[in-house]
Structure 1
Amino acid sequence: MKPVINFMGIRHVAFAVTVILTLVSLGSLAVKGLNFGLDFTGGTLIEFAYEKPADLNKVREQLRGAGYEDAVVQSFGATTDVLVRLAGDDPQLGNKIAAALLEADASNPAAVKRVEFVGPTVGEELRDQGGLGMLLALAGIMVYVAFRFQWKFGFGAIVSLIHDVIVTLGVFSFFEIPFDLTVLAAVLAIIGYSLNDTIVVFDRIRENFRLLRKAELIENINISTTQTLLRTLATSISTLLAILALMIFAGENLWGFSLALFIGVSAGTYSSVYIASILLIWLKLTRDDLIPPVVAEEVDERP
């Protein structure tokens, strides 16, 4: 039999770390808020057509040199088409940026194809719908886990997921990293990833309640977590390596998305081992909780 790692032996330290991270994240969100990107705050969208394939990094440097530090530059369709998004509603903004780019590099001139203004009302609607979608996802997960396992498992899973989301948002708030739709998509992906890790541990705990009849809850959790550790590490490390590759090679447009995933996957691995399991101890999960209630059958007393 493999040696059992005493994960729950440091549960009080883990709880203290969890409380500190959560409070710091909530404090930053309350004081500083999130640095919403143009997807949520509104701004101007300008599409350029270059004569030759455009170098996005070079375009970003040219815009920063011209005083447009907050401009978001991305490829749009062909390699000669570039999309620029930045704050402001000046009708002449597209021509001004085109002139700045031409002045910086006359060898590959850019022509303005279209200029669109996205108002803050649309951004607020996207933000509200994104937040509502996150809440609905958490509520649906809690209902699923409660029916699939037991309500104590459901409560533990939802608290660990909320922790992962709060920590991820807290990092973005504390360091004032732009929060746009790609980051919101990453946060929703984090919920699904973290739930998968938690379900694997929960399923083994439930199975070991039947196999290890004399084991106490803490011993069961240690054994179950040890048994699933290799699977958890293999999944987390491979996922983090793929995300790290995105952070390094995917460019500036996907950096926030990749960073959110990196933070969320790391927090999700931690919360699956400690937060969710610690809550099972606090809620005093027993073997009897997993026994389905007996439904009394009606007896027909008619002769």
Structure 2
Amino acid sequence: MSSKNKLLNLDFVRIGRRCYTFSIILTIIGVISLAVFGLNYSVDFKAGSNVDISFTKSITSEQVEPILEELGIQEGTKITPGADRMSIRFEEVLDEDQDHQLKSEILKLDSEASLEINTVDPEMAKELAINAMWAVLLSSLGIIVYVSIRFEWRFAVAAIVALLHDAFLVVTVFSIFRLEVDLTFIIAVLTIIGYSINDTIVIFDRIRENLRFAKQKTREDLADIVNKSVSQTIMRSLYTALTVFIAALFLLLLGGASIKMFSLAMVIGLLFGAYSSIFIASPLWFVLKSKQKNKPAKAS
């Protein structure tokens, strides 16, 4: 039997039970990591100043550090060097005098250098963080309503668990490895939710179609329907995830620093999204559907 046929003949419902354990373990690790370490927020979500410098000469971090010492704000400052660019992250907002002094000293190193200073005050940072949370919650609520109307509430519950699972595990990875969370990360999470729900809906739609023509007298009959439906759509889900994954991977490897966290979040999220659509959402719907008492499972 070829590897493709083996994949299509897997017992996805049974494998799903094992995947629940794996996902629960990852979720617990994520909760602990967030409780202990939290997230490494960028200047987008906490007060401070971020300075992007474009050089026409080769300037090293060692040449810039004395300037920061003169400013008196070296503590907590992060320098990220590049080929002809440098990013300096200050954990406090630079005042007008510090802005002027920093620009003057940088121009002494390279008279043709250009500086861009972005500042976020505490109130703006707090508002951005709250708005980001609302964006995720409202999109999740909209998906619940849509799937409940389009299918049934059990499909909606399974779908929302799967997509929140994907989003949370991406957040977990960023928390554990102290990766920087910025606005592009939020965009990536919302994009991941979109891809996740798209794959899940395709499988759910096939389950609903198969329910119309198959016998549903026992749990085994229902499990067969789920396994058959996933088998019929799994290659489509994998191909879709793979094509987007390849694009995101090359963006990560070859793209600029400004989209690096977006690309990385997409790469991680696409892997979790393909996994959850196949091994979490459909088996979870089976568990919910099979608990119907005193009535056979039927198409919504």
Instruction: Return the offset for 1:253.
Output: 1.7
> Does the 8 A contact of 1:43 with 1:86 survive in 2?
yes
C-alpha contact 2:56 2:112 (8 A) present in aligned 1: no
Q: Does 1:6 align with 2:11?
A: yes
User: What is the one-letter code of the residue matched to 1:143?
Assistant: V
- Deviation per CA, 1:109-132, whole angstroms, max 9, x where unpaired? 3255x7563211101000001101
Partner SS state of residue 49, structure 2? strand
**Of 219-228 and 6-15, the range deviating more from structure 2:** 6-15
Give the CA deviation at 1:72: 6.7
Pick aligned residue for 1:176 from 178, 199, 206: 178
Q: Is residue 180 of structure 2 the alignment partner of residue 186 of structure 1?
A: no
Which of these residues, 278, 282, 287, is aligned with residue 277 of structure 1?
282
Residue type matched to 1:191 in 2? I
Q: 1:87 aligns with which of 73, 84, 91?
A: 91
Kindly report which structure 2 residues correspond to 1:90-105, keeping only aligned pairs within 5 A, or say none: 90-91=94-95, 92-99=97-104, 101-102=106-107, 105=109
TM-superposed deviation, 1:245 = 0.5
SS at match of 1:117: strand
Structure 1 residue 100, shift from structure 2 partner? 5.0
SS, match of residue 259 in structure 2: helix
Is residue 39 of structure 1 aligned with residue 21 of structure 2? no
- What code does the residue aligned with 1:220 have? I
Quick one: which of 48, 70, 77 aligns to 2:78?
Answer: 70
- Figure out how many residues of one structure are paired with residues of the other and give that number: 276
Q: In 1, distance between residues paired with 2:90 and 2:275?
A: 37
Q: Does 1:26 align with 2:34?
A: no
Structure 1 residue 245 and structure 2 residue 250: aligned?
Answer: yes
Report the TM-score, using the length of structure 1 for normalisation: 0.80
What RMSD over aligned residues (CA atoms) do the two structures have, in Å? 3.0
| 1:62 and 1:101 in contact (8 A); partners too | no
The verdict on how the C-alpha distance between 1:275 and 1:111 changes in structure 2, with shifts beyond 3 A counting, is: closer
- Residues 56-67 of structure 1: pairs in structure 2 closer than 5 A: 61-62=60-61, 66=65
TM-score, normalising length: structure 2: 0.81
Is the 1:26–1:166 contact (alpha carbons within 8 Å) kept by the matching residues of 2?
no
In the alignment, which of 103, 109, 113 is matched to residue 110 of structure 1? 113
Uncovered stretches (5+) of structure 1, i.e. residues with no partner: 75-79, 292-303
Task: Confirm or deny that 1:195 pairs with 2:197.
Answer: yes
Find the aligned partners of 1:70 and 1:64 in 2 and give their Cα distance: 14
How has the CA–CA distance of structure 1 residues 289 and 123 changed in structure 2, closer, same or farther, with 3 Å as cutoff?
farther
Note closer, same or farther for the CA distance 1:73–1:88 as it changes in structure 2 (3 Å cut): farther
Query: Which letter does structure 2 place at the counterpart of 1:109?
Result: E
Q: Is the 8 A contact 1:72 1:253 kept in 2?
A: no
CA 1:54–1:192: 2 relative to 1, 3 Å: farther
Per-residue Cα deviation, 1:192-240 (whole angstroms, up to 9, x for no partner): 1100010011001111112333671111111111111111111011111
Any runs of at least 4 consecutive aligned residues in structure 1 with deviations exceeding 6 A, and if so which? 80-84
Q: Aligned residue for 1:299?
A: none
